[in-house]
Amino acid sequence: MARGGSVPGFLLKKKKNMVLVKQWIYEMRPEADVSPANYRYEEVEQDLTPVRGEVVVEGAYWSVDPYMRIQQSSKDTWEAPHPTGEVQGAAVVGRVTCVGEGVTALKVGDWVETYMGWRSAGLRAVADCRLLNADEVSPSTALHVLGMPGRIAYFGLLEAGKPRPGETLVVSGAAGAVGSIVGQIGKLAGLRVIGVVGSDEKARWITEELGFDAAINYRQVSDVESMKQAFAEHAPDGVDIYYDNTGGVTTDAFIESMNLRARIIICGQISQYQSGLEVPNMGPRLLHHFLYKRATMTGVLARDYTARMDEMLRVMGPWVRDGKIKYNETLIGGFETLPEALCGLFTGANTGKMIVKA
Ligand SMILES: NC(=O)c1ccc[n+]([C@@H]2O[C@H](COP(=O)([O-])OP(=O)(O)OC[C@H]3O[C@@H](n4cnc5c(N)ncnc54)[C@H](OP(=O)(O)O)[C@@H]3O)[C@@H](O)[C@H]2O)c1
């Protein structure tokens, strides 16, 4: 029931809003592959009585993202490592179930996106909630195409990639949350787009459904030389932009195949996360190619564009509603499966965005 309003607090003792909250604690840093054993499940009764300016959010969709594995490293990255013994941080989409005094921007029943972590319900400041328009598209899209992955796909490609119509783009991790959107934005920008994926089924999805021009299944390409041949076959005029989500052999092959003044966008390096963060996985030293080709490599981070979220939504929102950008969700249920779903990202279990549903 909604709380707040002008109840004379000095006369009534406020009833506490005690809730049994389920949560996943990030317990232990993995040495190599992350597994459910790195997490601990608990159910705790918590007082979720909102104070002024707060709401209670009940989770419906939880995000699992590759960056969680980066933050599990003991080394600093763009921030300090995720502390152990605490609820796994994560973006969540859920409904407001209770509002505190003075809250006018949100009401009970509203859908919001908020960084609440892997907990079933929690108290959130109104300022930390993004109100969603659930009438237009599924609220779960706030975790991908109209959320953080969509934001880095959009700004990463258009700002760091500086695409010009007629150029050729290669995207690795092309059937994932970020990659599937990057390729479609590339098509809208007039590019020839080649996606690198981990299965024939994913290759079919990106070419037949999403409109990519070609796909390469990296699991059928044994080494750098064969990947270079695959690029040459699908992009006879060479490649101008590489949107990298995976690193590894695909990236090594690209560097040796890139066109003059190519732009490489480093969005992610998922092939390195499970064991290559503590001890670097040394590949060939290819920087001389940057000299020959006067190429650039730029790292991009979604949070650098947080303040420009509305700018992205103004363009991508209509694209999604009009079907110009398609998306897929691999929905896994329920809350108890969160660590398993995270592990699935590293075996390619998802097509499009991996999401856990209540
Ligand atoms: N810079 C940023 O702000 C930012 C924001 C979001 C995501 N990212 C990065 O972008 C990348 C994609 O993230 P996402 O959220 O869209 O995840 P995702 O692509 O939806 O899921 C991960 C996919 O990576 C592929 N993969 C897993 N291990 C691999 C390996 N060893 N080699 C090649 N591919 C592998 C799998 O697809 P296959 O079946 O095709 O192998 C898997 O489905 C990640 O590297 C992530 O860290 C960066």
CA atoms within 13 A on the CB side of 246: 25
Strand 296-299 versus strand 39-47 pairing type: unpaired
- Per-residue b or e along 77-97, where b marks 16 or more CB atoms closer than 10 Å to that residue's CB: eeeeebeeeebbbbbbbbbbb
Residue 274 in contact with ligand 1 by CB distance below 6 A: no
State the Cα–Cα distance between residues 27 and 30, nearest whole angstrom. Answer: 10
Q: Which atom of ligand 1 is the closest one to the Cα of 349?
A: 43
- Residue by residue, pLDDT tens for the chain (358 residues) are 344 444 444 445 567 999 999 999 999 999 999 999 999 999 999 999 999 999 999 999 999 999 999 999 998 999 999 999 999 999 999 999 999 999 999 999 999 999 999 999 999 999 999 999 988 899 999 999 999 999 999 999 999 999 999 999 999 999 999 999 999 999 999 999 999 999 999 999 999 999 999 999 999 998 999 999 999 999 999 999 999 999 999 999 999 999 999 999 999 999 999 987 888 888 899 999 999 999 999 999 999 999 999 999 999 999 999 999 999 999 998 999 999 999 999 999 999 999 999 9
Find out whether 268 and 299 touch, Cβ atoms under 8 Å.
Answer: no
Residue 152 in contact with ligand 1 by CB distance below 6 A: yes
Q: Which atom of ligand 1 is the closest one to the Cα of 66?
A: 47
Q: Which atom of ligand 1 is the closest one to the Cα of 271?
A: 31
Which residue has the least CA distance to atom 44 on ligand 1? Answer: 268
Residue 348 in contact with ligand 1 by CB distance below 6 A: yes
Residue 50 in contact with ligand 1 by CB distance below 6 A: no
In the chain, the domains with their CATH numbers are: 18-138+328-357 (3.90.180.10), 148-304 (3.40.50.720)
Helices within 104-223 (DSSP H only): 148-155, 177-188, 200-204
